[in-house]
Every structure is written in structure tokens, then in C-alpha cells.
Copies of this chain bind each other. A is one copy, B any other.
Amino acid sequence: MKAVRVHEYGVDPRIDDVPEPTIQGPWDVIVDVGAAGLCRTDLHIIEGQWDPIQHPTLPYVIGHENAGTVREIGSAVSNVAVGDTVIMHPLTTCGLCAACRVGQDSHCANATFPGINADGGMAEQLRTNARAVVRLDAGIEPKDVAALADAGLTAYHAVRKAAGVLFPGTHAVVVGAGGLGHIGIQTLAAITSATITVVDRSEEALELAGTLGAHHTVLATSDDEIAAKVADITGGGAHVVFDFVGESGAELLVPRLIRNRGQHYVIGYGGTIQLPTIEIISREIDVIGNLVGTYQDLVELMTLQAQGRVQLHTKVYPLEAALDAIHDLEAGRLVGRGILVP
């Protein structure tokens, strides 16, 4: 079958002919990939940035946002049947470790992460496991949901964790209304009653944000101007800021956008938090890390999608055009999320 594989860091992946995956354990599931999302993390993988963290064996198939149709199941699989439409949680988890036992399966001690440290979904078929598959209504199109499997799931996870404090009268600020941010805005509007303010450098992104649930938008100019505008809109700072950028200065600006007792949710990455402890304690503010969501988060996000409350803006490429999609993303030519369809 065709598959997009990284052979060497710093070099374009290649579209190879590789053997089809096979069932190797009782919980394995083979899926005919219907769509695979293209993510900025794929660029970082190609650059080699994830090698020291996940150290995959090259060459391997990338693609960690996958949806499709069940093709074959292992002997112990009872939760999906051949022919089911499914979306894949990005991790294949074990169900036995301490994290899995308490529903924190995104921290599974025995997981693989197809597309990151094992063969992924930019291919005609993918091997995953029973604990990764979420069954969808037959009418759902894989290309409409695939990018929710990781990007969307990460945004939702952060919003879901914060939801307990986002009640009427509170202020949520979203920094960065791109791929993750625009899912963050929609899920904030769907599951919280906070007033939502979006900060971005692009007027176009802010316009889109307004249609997705943002109550206020702030064009990112100087830090002082942003801070002043946010203070004004929020009456002294946000209760929670969702930082979907995490680099290029956003990570240093965010503490100025939160009120005392407020929280800085870190989702984007690249920069370094630098925060004097006296500020942390005198304002009693928190910095909260956010990994990808749990399986349950993905189930909830799929519910919102089925209810029409979350929509992705996508551009579809055939799998053979994977390098075009990658180059478009690198060059900033890709508006919305790139989706590869075998």
C-alpha cells in the first residue's frame, strides 16, 4: 500500500509502497484510513524536533490524526466490528497501567503513538487497537473529523479542564485563533458560559473567530496595547487564558492578561515561561500544562461535532499529493486544516 514515510530528518518524506499492517495481538484493529490530518507537529517531526522525545525508528509512516473504516479486528475486540466508521484516539493505550485505570489514558505507560513513534495514518491502512477506536455514526465522513483526533482533541482537553471555573461573568481569553485555537473557541462557546475574547495577529482569523463564538476580538499589536485592551474588556484580566501559541513572546505576554487567581493554560509550545516566583505567589496565579486529550475527551468532542457545534475548516488533498500539502503548510499557503485522503 501507499504510505508517507520519513526517512531522514530535515528532508521531505517519501511516498513509498509498503506492506499492509497485520493483526499481531488480540486487541489490534486494522483500519482502512479514510482521512489523515496534517498538523504543524508533522513539520516538527520532519525537522527532527520530536526525535529526542519519542525516538522513532526511521523510516516510518507519519499521520497522527486519523479516521476511517474498520477492516479487521483481533480476537478479543468487542467494541467495534468490521465496517464501522471510527476515529482513532492518537494513542493505543493498555487499560492496565495506573494512568489508564483512572481515565488518564493520554498518560498511559505502555502506549504507542502511531504517526509519532510508530507507523501512522498517512497511508491506506493503519494498525491501532481496541482502546483507541471511537465508533461514529455511519453518516460521518472521515475527512470531516480526522483533524479533531489530535489538534481538536488537544484544544478540547484544555477547555474541558478549565470548564469548571468558566461560569457566567468569567472571562476566557484565547491567544491564537489558528488550527487549535479555532476549535478552542467553538468548544468554549459550546461547553462554558464564559465571555470569550480572542487575540490574534490576523484580522481574517479574528473575523472567523467572531463567527465561531468570540464575543470580543483584539488585534495583536504591541504587548502593552493588547494588555490594555484585554484589561478593559475583562475588567482586570482573564480568569483563564488559553495560549495556543506558546512561543514568539506569547508565553511571556500571557501572565499580563490574567487577573489575580487566574490561570495560564499552555497548549502551544516553542518558547520558555519566565515568571518571577514573587509574581506567582503574590498574585496566586497558575501555569497549567495541557497534553492531548483522553479517550473520553474524544468521545465528548465527537458528540459536539455530531451536534453541529464544532466544525473544521479544511482543505482536502489526495494522499499522493501529501508533499504539496506539507509544502503548502510550511509556506503558510494552507488556510484551514490540510486533510489527506487515500
Instruction: Give the docked Cα–Cα distance between A307 and B268 (Å).
Output: 31
- Asked whether B273 lies within 8 Å of A274 as measured between CB atoms, the reply is yes
User: Is A285 at the interface (CB under 8 A from chain B)?
Assistant: yes
**Interchain CB contact under 8 A, B291 and A284:** yes
Q: Check B282–A53 contact: CB distance below 8 A.
A: yes
Q: Which stretch (A11-19, A74-82, A204-212) binds chain B? A: A74-82
Q: In the complex, are the beta carbons of B296 and A102 less than 8 A apart?
A: yes
The answer to whether B26 and A300 have CB atoms under 8 Å apart is no
- State A282–B26 Cα separation when bound (angstroms): 30
Return chain B residues, CB-CB under 8 Å to A25: 26, 76
Name the residue of chain B whose CB is nearest to the CB of A295: B101
Interface residue from B98, B130, B169, B294 paired with A96 (Cβ < 8 Å):
B130
| A283 and B269 alpha carbons, distance in the complex (Å) | 12
Question: For A246, what are the chain B residues with a Cβ–Cβ distance below 8 Å?
Answer: 277, 281
Contacting residues of chain A (87-121) with chain B, CB-CB under 8 angstroms: 94-107, 110
Given contacts A277-B247, A278-B270, A281-B290, contact A96 B131 (CB under 8 A): yes
Smallest Cβ-Cβ distance to A193: which chain B residue? B191
A61 CB to nearest B CB, Å: 22
Residue of B nearest to A190 (CB): B193
CB of A300 within 8 A of CB of B169, answer yes
Given A76-B27, A76-B76, A190-B168, A289 and B278 contact (CB-CB distance below 8 Å):
no
How close is A144's CB to chain B, nearest CB, in angstroms?
17
The stretch from A224-232, A259-267, A326-334 touching chain B is A259-267
A286 pairs with B284, CB closer than 8 A: no
Name the B residues within 8 Å of A288 (CB-CB). 286
Q: How large is the interface on A (under 10, 10 to 19, 20 to 34, 35 or more residues)?
A: 35 or more
Give chain B residues whose Cβ lies under 8 Å from the Cβ of A107. Answer: 260-261, 284
The residue of chain B having its C-beta at the shortest distance from the C-beta of A262 within the complex is B289
Chain B residues with CB below 8 A from A307, complex form:
168
Q: Is the CB of B291 within 8 A of A282?
A: yes
Tell me the complex Cα distance, A17–B322, Å: 65
Contact bitstring A162-187, B, C-beta under 8 A = 1, else 0: 01100111000000000000000000
Chain B residues near A191: list those with CB within 8 A: 167-168, 192-193
User: Is A272 on the interface with B (CB-CB < 8 A)?
Assistant: yes
Q: Is the pair B251, A266 in contact by a Cβ cutoff of 8 Å?
A: no
Contact of A78 among B96, B192, B309 (CB under 8 A): B96
Q: Quick one: which of A103, A104, A193, A290 has the most chain B CB within 10 A?
A: A193
Are B289 and A284 closer than 8 Å at their CB atoms? yes
A270 vs B280: C-alpha distance when bound (angstroms): 10
Query: Closest CB-CB distance, A197 to chain B, in whole Å?
Result: 15
Contact A266 B282 (CB under 8 A): no
On whether the beta carbons of A277 and B251 are closer than 8 Å, the reply is yes
A-B contact pairs, 19 of them (CB 8 A): A78-B94, A78-B96, A79-B96, A95-B95, A95-B131, A101-B295, A103-B103, A106-B284, A168-B190, A168-B300, A193-B309, A246-B281, A270-B277, A272-B276, A273-B277, A280-B289, A283-B289, A284-B290, A286-B286
